Amino acid sequence: MDNLSSPARPCGFPNAVTRSAVTRRAVLGGVTAVGAVAGLSACVDPSTVEASSTPATPAASGEGTVAATAAELAVGSSLSVKIGERTYLLFRPAEASVLAYRAVCTHAGCEVSVGEGEFVCHCHGSHFTRETGDVTAGPARGPLEKFRAEISGEDVLVYL
């Protein structure tokens, strides 16, 4: 879904950043963790966002990108991370599993943040499950774009 790669633009909804951390691996790998509770909000052109009806996990392509350390993502927790210019949401439901989603709202393209037990878009109030990326409250109708991810040793890898 390359049409989600449009440059971000401000959407006028302030969003507090409550935690900012750069890990050793992040510096080496060009990945920056941006928040466990909330991330910066940015929008893309709504006309470029397509709602998908299935949250299917795409097959892995190439090598995984280190998105965080396993220690940064405790079991049951979520994390917002930057990989390059894009933001992704991670959720670790169990010791050996992790889920990854692009943090772009399927309503109008605002950045989705980590909320209390779910992912939240602060632009118009859409909520998404951490387990599937499905919408639990609109106006968004489509699930978050999902990526294959895994715990590999001390690293959380996302396959983009």
The count of chain residues that interact with ligand FES, using the rule CB under 6 A, is 12
Q: Please, where are the H alpha helices in 18-87? A: 24-29
If one counts every other C-beta atom within 10 angstroms of the C-beta of residue 111, the result is 27
Extract the tokens encoding 8: 């971000």
Question: Is 123 or 149 the residue whose CB approaches ligand FES more closely?
Answer: 123
Shortest CB 120 distance to ligand FES, Å? 9
141 near 125, Cβ under 8 Å? Answer: no
Applying CB under 6 A, which of residues 25, 82, 102, 107 lies at the interface with ligand FES?
Answer: 107
Question: Is 76 or 125 the residue whose CB approaches ligand FES more closely?
Answer: 125
Applying CB under 6 A, which of residues 33, 38, 99, 105 lies at the interface with ligand FES?
Answer: 105
Question: Is 25 or 107 the residue whose CB approaches ligand FES more closely?
Answer: 107
Q: Please, where are the H alpha helices in the chain? A: 24-29
Spatial distance between the Cα atoms of 82 and 31, rounded to a whole number of angstroms = 6
Shortest CB 107 distance to ligand FES, Å? 3
Applying CB under 6 A, which of residues 52, 124, 148, 151 lies at the interface with ligand FES?
Answer: 124
**Per rule CB under 6 A, is residue 157 in the interface with ligand FES?**
no
Listed residue (79, 77, 78) closest to 34, CA to CA: 79
Q: What are phi and psi of 128, to 5 degrees?
A: -135, 145
Binding-site ranges for ligand FES (CB under 6 A): 105, 107-110, 121, 123-126, 139-140
